[in-house]
Structure 1
Amino acid sequence: MLKKRIAVLVAFVVVLASVLAGCGNSSKSGNSSTTTKSTFKAGMVTDTGGVDDKSFNQSSWEGLKTYAKDNNLKVGTGVKYLQSTQASDYSPNLNTLVHQNFNVVYGIGFLMQSDIQKIAQQNPKAHLGIVDAVAVDKNNKPLKNVANITFKEEQGSFLVGVVAGLTTKTNKIGFVGGINSALIKKFENGFKAGVKAVNPKADVYVQYAGAFNAPDKGRAIAQTFYTKGADIIYAAAGDTGNGVFTEAKNRTKDGKKVWVIGVDRDQHDQGLPENVTLTSMVKRVDKAIYDVTKMTKEGKFPGGKVLQFGLDQNGVGIAPTTENVSKKALDAVNTYKKKIVDGSIKVPTTDKEYKAYLANLK
């Protein structure tokens, strides 16, 4: 009889333990859900220019870091980047962050468009973002799980073109592009249009380096342009543009004052200590990345949408550092900015549009 009572007691204890364990697991599950919500993660993959390109990769990362600071996320876990050294790194880097369950993963630059498209379709529940491109399906429709972040680069480039046209003393100006593409053509044609709007006599030399990570090539092109008499060069070339700064600083050290117009970020510091940065075309990739990350965290991920940031959204413009820009040029920038925003001027983005623009100036 005693044995039977003991057996019943043991059975009761086992059942009770199971119930308590079940309650414990239920509580743990609830905590896990709360933790998941509080451990929001946002990641990005750089293109080959690298995270310290002093251009759009760096700006993107600054946007994520600012978001992390404002939302108590840890850099390295809450926000993270993976650097690509070659194009073949894009897909594995993107996949790594997707499989690590990052809530949103950005591909920085149009060169990642095909990789983003493929990965987005393979992982329909993932939230992805791409800068400077639109990710589409086989029917050319925007993919519903990709946020497309684009800019009106031609508008900001027009404004720095106005500065260049009113600052040059030789009437010879250069443009150094990274990869010859529809995107960088927007920089080129907008810039040339701005120059010609205020200085029809100016010549603009144009050359593409064929890469965003070739500072030596950027320097060589700058050397050619400066030797031909250009006194200002606008570099829209990522890390390649850093070579333009190197050449300009060396020439200034030798007593030959020349200028560089930076891109994407305020690159005033990049021109120091020789002070060769005339101005920069600021492209607020940092703000765009911040905004889309915030929307994602709030459950409002803009999948399938094409977000476009122009002058009217303060998505592009000239840099806040204006110490090297004359009052005349600044006044002209403000005048032309209003005309672009109100639609009086349509800034060209392609060679064909630029040709038509020039015809209308005459």
Structure 2
Amino acid sequence: MRRITRIATVGVASAALALSATACGGKSSNTADSGEPKVAIAYDIGGRGDQSFNDAAYAGLEKAEKELGVKGTEAEPSEGEGDPDKVQRLTELARSGNNPVIGVGFAYGPAVAEVAPKFPKTTFGLVDDTSKTGKNIANLVFNEEQGSYLAGVAAAKVTKTNTVGFIGGVEIPLIKKFEAGFVQGVKDTNKNVNVKVQYLTQPPDFGGFSKPDLGKAAAQGQIDAGADVIYAAAGLAGAGSIEAAAKAKKWAIGVDSDQYSQKGLAAYKDYILTSVTKDVSGAVFNLIKSVQEGKPQNGEIRYGLEEDGVGLARSNPAFTKMTDVIKAVDQAKADIIADKIKVKTAP
């Protein structure tokens, strides 16, 4: 039976107590009092229910609960929180005996770097960030530009207006990888296709990952300007872009999870051509499994097209029936794996 406990950020006094305990040699165990292994994930901006990135991480935890018999704990982010909040959250999760403790998203980088040395027997997973490393840190990263290249190929093949759009949640290097791959895929397929690029917010404002209304407005603007295919890498905000595309009867391309199959987007699925998938669920599961087997992963664990760590979903029957598009996508995938196509990681 699946059991999940949610924790919330506690007060400053409790945080101080937790940090004091770790400073005095606090230890972490991977076994609950009942003998059941405990694992935890701390979600990125938007939290569980984003139909995308965080939900993919949750799927990995859910699989581990079912197949490995672990007890999972989920920790949700708070709006406007900073690094001290994340440090507190990860400290509490580690002190509670969870192993591994996984921070979902690059925003957890500084917190993982601070907390991990205090719990040397606990493995910390850090998704989408290689800048913070350590002996007990596993950096789970993906070649997002490769999957995005395939989306660009598909977009260039299906557009009838020779105009497509890319929407990024926040203009940061990680999302620039999505943009770079997509634009390159489009241009390599048809140089005459125009790609409209828009970012919803700029750092330090990360609201572009959590506000569907921003994604919806951006997509509508691109559609009004002639785009008939919209690819959004924007977390929860991407749901708004999908809604706008569907209502305009244009194609949307999802991200991270297979968004055609997400229940929260069922009303729009007929217009979700495909999704650029990242096997975040597999990466989370593999890390949990490695800890349970006594051989915890550490260092950079990279997932690309060759490992099926990124890819292009084929759940929409309308997409699979586009034989010329599928053929072009398959050829591009083979060429990337064979290193015949080198996909850029920056625009």
TM-score, length of structure 1 as denominator length: 0.81
**Does residue 290 of the first structure (1) align with residue 294 of the second (2)?**
no
1:115 offset after TM fit, Å? 1.1
| CA–CA distance in structure 2, aligned partners of residues 324 and 189 of structure 1 | 26
| Contact 1:212–1:237 (CA under 8 A) maintained in structure 2 | yes
Residue 228 of structure 1 aligns with an amino acid whose one-letter code is A
1:170 alignment partner, one of 152, 161, 167? 161
Aligned to 1:329: 325
| Contact 1:215–1:242 (CA under 8 A) maintained in structure 2 | yes
| Contact 2:31–2:97 (CA under 8 A) maintained in structure 1 | no
1:349 offset after TM fit, Å? 0.6
Spell out, residue by residue over 1:27-67, the C-alpha distance to the aligned partner (whole angstroms, 9 max, x if none).
Answer: xxxxx999769421110000121111111111001111011
Residue 272 of structure 2 aligns with an amino acid whose one-letter code is T
Residue 323 of structure 1 aligns with an amino acid whose one-letter code is P
| CA–CA distance in structure 2, aligned partners of residues 196 and 202 of structure 1 | 7
| CA–CA distance in structure 2, aligned partners of residues 287 and 157 of structure 1 | 19
**Does residue 319 of the first structure (1) align with residue 313 of the second (2)?**
yes
| CA–CA distance in structure 2, aligned partners of residues 302 and 71 of structure 1 | 16
| CA–CA distance in structure 2, aligned partners of residues 346 and 269 of structure 1 | 30
| CA–CA distance in structure 2, aligned partners of residues 220 and 292 of structure 1 | 38
1:135 offset after TM fit, Å? 4.8
Aligned to 1:212: 209
| Contact 1:280–1:318 (CA under 8 A) maintained in structure 2 | yes
Alignment of 1:152-167 (within 5 A): 152-167=143-158
Aligned to 1:105: 101
Q: What is the SS of the residue equivalent to 1:324?
A: helix
| CA–CA distance in structure 1, aligned partners of residues 107 and 305 of structure 2 | 25
**Does residue 148 of the first structure (1) align with residue 139 of the second (2)?**
yes
Q: What is the SS of the residue equivalent to 2:259?
A: coil
1:248 offset after TM fit, Å? 1.9
Residue 174 of structure 1 aligns with an amino acid whose one-letter code is G
Q: Which ranges of structure 1 fall in alignment gaps of 5 or more residues?
A: 1-31, 137-141, 252-256, 352-362
Spell out, residue by residue over 1:190-245, the C-alpha distance to the aligned partner (whole angstroms, 9 max, x if none).
Answer: 01111111111001111111221011111111111010010011010100101102
Q: What is the SS of the residue equivalent to 1:268?
A: helix
1:99 offset after TM fit, Å? 1.2
Aligned to 1:193: 184
Higher helix share: 1
- Residues 34 and 177 of structure 1: is their aligned pair in 2 closer, same or farther, counting only changes over 3 Å? closer
| CA–CA distance in structure 1, aligned partners of residues 170 and 253 of structure 2 | 18
Spell out, residue by residue over 1:148-199, the C-alpha distance to the aligned partner (whole angstroms, 9 max, x if none).
Answer: 0000000111011111000000011000111111111111000111111111
Residue 153 of structure 1 aligns with an amino acid whose one-letter code is E
1:63 alignment partner, one of 60, 63, 71? 60
| CA–CA distance in structure 2, aligned partners of residues 126 and 320 of structure 1 | 38
Aligned to 2:75: 82
**Does residue 129 of the first structure (1) align with residue 125 of the second (2)?**
yes
Spell out, residue by residue over 1:322-355, the C-alpha distance to the aligned partner (whole angstroms, 9 max, x if none).
Answer: 422211010111111110001111101112xxxx
Residue 62 of structure 1 aligns with an amino acid whose one-letter code is A
Aligned to 2:276: 281
Aligned to 1:267: 259
- Residues 33 and 115 of structure 1: is their aligned pair in 2 closer, same or farther, counting only changes over 3 Å? closer
**Does residue 46 of the first structure (1) align with residue 27 of the second (2)?**
no
Q: Which ranges of structure 2 fall in alignment gaps of 5 or more residues?
A: 1-28, 202-207
1:290 offset after TM fit, Å? 0.5
| CA–CA distance in structure 1, aligned partners of residues 124 and 68 of structure 2 | 20
| CA–CA distance in structure 2, aligned partners of residues 175 and 126 of structure 1 | 39
| CA–CA distance in structure 2, aligned partners of residues 215 and 273 of structure 1 | 15
- Pairs aligned (count): 305
Q: What is the SS of the residue equivalent to 1:272?
A: helix
Q: What is the SS of the residue equivalent to 2:140?
A: strand
Aligned to 2:172: 181
- Residues 105 and 166 of structure 1: is their aligned pair in 2 closer, same or farther, counting only changes over 3 Å? same
1:117 alignment partner, one of 113, 120, 125? 113
| Contact 2:37–2:69 (CA under 8 A) maintained in structure 1 | no
**Does residue 232 of the first structure (1) align with residue 225 of the second (2)?**
no
Return structure 1 stretches of 4+ with deviation > 4 angstroms: 32-38
Aligned to 1:10: none
Whichever of the two has the greater Rg, that structure is: 1
1:273 offset after TM fit, Å? 3.2
| CA–CA distance in structure 2, aligned partners of residues 34 and 107 of structure 1 | 19
